[in-house]
Amino acid sequence: MPLTSRLFAMLDRVHAPETVHAHCDLPCGVYDPAQARIEAESVKGCMEKFNASDDSVFKTRATLIKEERAELVKHHLWVLWTDYFKPEHLATYPQLHDLFWKTTKAAGEAKKTNDVAAATRLLEGIAEIDTIFWATKKG
């Protein structure tokens, strides 16, 4: 068999489609709202440090870090919403869609301000998501 034919035959075996069955991308143990909460706590901490400082360079750095962390909060929330929660969860907790929407919007608001109240609202939304998440893990 010519070399190119053997190469194509080998590639066909390597790229052969397989049937895989899973209810999520990885075992469910990898999902946890704690990731979003930790980043949201960093957002709040940056706001508090920003508000306590008179150093303009420090304030600029605190704002940059806060904005990065707020973006990570949005990422972690959307991973939970799109990869972990399933239709049966929405049937049991019909407020999930609105809760995720509002909490993700709260992350966007926290990104735009140094008002600690915005970070507190964000953490409250994450706490509600956390409660529902752990209730679904028990079921």
Q: Where would I find the H helices in 2-139?
A: 3-14, 34-52, 56-79, 87-92, 96-112, 116-138
CB 125 within 8 A of CB 103: yes
Domain ranges of the chain: 31-138
CA neighbor of 38 nearest in space, from 128, 121, 126: 126
Mean pLDDT in residue range 97-102:
98
CB 89 within 8 A of CB 133: no
Name the fold adopted by 31-138: Four Helix Bundle (Hemerythrin (Met), subunit A) (1.20.120)
Give the per-residue pLDDT at 137.
Answer: 87
- Over residues 35-47, the pLDDT tens digits come to 999 999 999 999 9
pLDDT at 14 over 80: no
- Over residues 109-119, the pLDDT tens digits come to 999 999 999 99
Give the per-residue pLDDT at 10.
Answer: 62
Phi-psi label, residue 46: left if phi above 0, alpha if psi -120 to 50, beta otherwise: alpha
Q: Could you tell me the pTM of the whole model?
A: 0.79
CA 56 vs CA 62, 119, 127: distances in Å: 10, 21, 33
